[in-house]
Structure formats: C-alpha cells, structure tokens
Amino acid sequence: MLQGERMDSTTGGESLRIIVTGGYGFIGSNLILALLERHPSWSIVNVDAVTYAADPANLASLEADPRYEFRQIDIVNRDAVRALVQEVRPDGIFHLAAESHVDNSIRGPEQFILTNVLGTFNLLEEARQAWGGDASKRFLHISTDEVYGSLGDAGAFTEESRYEPNSPYSASKAGSDHLVRAWHHTYGMNVVTTNCSNNYGPRQHREKLIPTVIATALAHRPIPVYGRGLNVRDWLYVADHCAALDLAFTNGRAGETYVVGGRNEWRNIDLVRMLCRLLDEEVGAGPDGGYESLITFVIDRPGHDARYAIDPSKIESELGWRGATSFEDGLRATVRWYAGTAH
C-alpha cells in the first residue's frame, strides 16, 4: 500500500501485520472481529492496558485463532511501545486506545492527557522510527466529533470544521489529532484520521448512555437523564463504524481526515424513551407503567455540548461508505445483546 494508493478491501488482499490499540474496548473489539473476518490473511496484535473499561471477554472467541495475539501494554510507557513496535514490525496501526468518558475527564483530567496525548505521541514516534519513511505503512488515528465543540440547531460537522473542544476529554483528543496531522506534514508519515459520532452496539462499557439506560432499567432503578434530555447526538452503529475504519485504512488518502456519522440525530430523551419501549417489547416484566416510568431527570453536567451532527459526504463519495443499519434495528440488537448478558 503506497502513500495515497488505494488497496482493494473487498477480499483478504495481501497479508498484513496490524496493531490495534485498545482492542479490548468497545469499538476496538468489534473492529478486530470485523477485520479478521474481512481480511483472513491479516494477523492482528491487540495492545491494551486492560483498564476498567477493557473486557477480555469481548475477544474470548479468538483465543485459539493463530492470527490473533494480545499484549498488555500501556501506551504511556514509551519503552514498552518501542519494544512492541520493534518486535512486531507492523504494516499498519489502528489507534483506538484512549480514555473516553467525559464525566471522568471532568473529575480527573490528568490521565486523559497522559493516555490520549502522550500515548499517541509515543505510538507516532516509535512507528516513525521503525518505518523509516516507508510510505507503505499506515497509521490510522480514530478520534471523535467532540473535538469540534457544540453545534446550534442547524448545520453539521465536516472535515473543515473548526476545533473547539469543551471538555478535558475532547481537548485531549483534539491534541492527539493535531499530533497526527503534524507527523504527516513534518515527517511525511502516512496517516489517516477519522472523527466519528456517538457509537452504540454490543460490547460497550456500561458507563455510556445506552448501556447505562438498559442496565439501570433492567434493575428497575431510576434512569438518569441529564437536564431535560434535550441534548442531541448523531448515533452510529458500531459495525457500520468498523466498516468505515476498514475503508479509511485500506482506501483512504494519506494525510486526509474523514468524519463518520450515521445521519441519525436524536434528542437524548427521545432515545431513552425508544430504549424503554424496546425493553418493554423485548424483555417485558418491567415496572408498573413500563420502563419509561423510571426516567429521572438529574442536574446537567458542566460544559455539556448541546448538539453534535456529522455530514459524512466525503467518506461516502470518496470511499463508498454508507451506514447500513437503521437506528431501531441497531437499538433492538443492542437491547437483545445486553438483556441476554445481564443475568
């Protein structure tokens, strides 16, 4: 894969050795499973620090797969990153490892700066040293639309949107995005960056909104909704996101950014109500008045962005990506997954 060259991603293609950071996490575990299914000739090294948000059970099905191996490494540890890259000699890196929970970043921002900024620097620099200017090697950096701040009632984020992060989490991700851009423009490194909207689906940590709502409802406890639930998010099913990441890595243009969204905006309160309806249908045995009766409004968090929305026209037109999963279908599959693993 040469710099700027597109490689067919519809078959197994050439044999590549890939590092995926944060592979025990939500998006990372779904991505590893998708990549191994789509590219049978690839081998993948999952690099994860195994923090509270990691779940080795997410990839238990791969324990006997010779194409897969796991290394417990914290990317903040520069020496460990160097040893890993020099040993593995990867053809590509999918960089997902990050601290990602906004509330946690408000309570304790330091770890977000260490992991998201310093950790990204360590990976970039060790990859650059190992690859020595080889433009066939690619670094795919997976980031968030939160780096762009908050939208008003109209409009959508694009690749040209101004960076205006409003939380320690989004500021740390913005910093990592800028490092990746600089390593391309300064050193000619073959990088691609993606900024995605809110993901949902199986294997997500229960601190996030949708798993929190499902788990809380199933326990018949009050379902917390910030403010009046009027904040708007653009939701993207994780399998659709993984397909976009595969295309960005194999077919994307070096140095480019692609924003990835589901064209699927929902107010938080409407999303929670839909989840409650699906729980009524799929699980039943809810409280009197149904699961919706458990909704409880709580004090809004500081710096809570009002609305996110993404215009994914660039990745649609350049790479042929489309979100394939309807929101109700994706939510129903998500509810079934969590309900089946909650007992």
**Residue pLDDT, tens place only, 228-271:** 999 998 999 999 999 999 999 999 999 999 999 999 999 999 99
3-state secondary structure of 199: strand
Longest dimension (CA), the chain: 64
Q: Which of 24, 68, 148, 169 is catalytic?
A: 169
Contact criterion met (CB below 8 Å) for 183 and 128: yes
Q: What is the pLDDT of residues 142-193, one digit of tens each?
A: 999 999 998 888 899 999 999 999 999 999 999 999 999 999 999 999 999 9
Report the percentage of the chain scoring pLDDT > 70. Answer: 95
- How far is residue 226's CA from residue 296's CA, in Å, rounded to a whole number? 9
What beta strand segments (E) does the chain contain? 17-21, 43-48, 68-72, 92-95, 138-144, 191-196, 198-200, 223-226, 232-237, 257-260, 265-267, 295-298
Q: Is 146 tagged catalytic?
A: yes
Contact criterion met (CB below 8 Å) for 240 and 325: yes
Q: Is 200 tagged catalytic?
A: no
- How far is residue 214's CA from residue 193's CA, in Å, rounded to a whole number? 32
Q: Is 14 tagged catalytic?
A: no
* pLDDT score at 198: 92
pTM over 0.95: no
Q: Which of 48, 99, 145, 177 is catalytic?
A: 145
pLDDT exceeds cutoff 70 at 273: yes
How does strand 138-144 pair with strand 223-226? unpaired
Q: Which domains occur in the chain, in start order? A: 17-200+235-263+309-323 (3.40.50.720)
* pLDDT score at 170: 97
Q: Which of 48, 99, 146, 292 is catalytic?
A: 146
pLDDT exceeds cutoff 80 at 8: no
* pLDDT score at 277: 95
Q: Which positions ≥6 away from 52 have C-beta within 8 Å?
A: none
Q: Report the pLDDT averaged over residues 337-341.
A: 80
Q: Which amino acid is at 275?
A: L
* pLDDT score at 13: 67
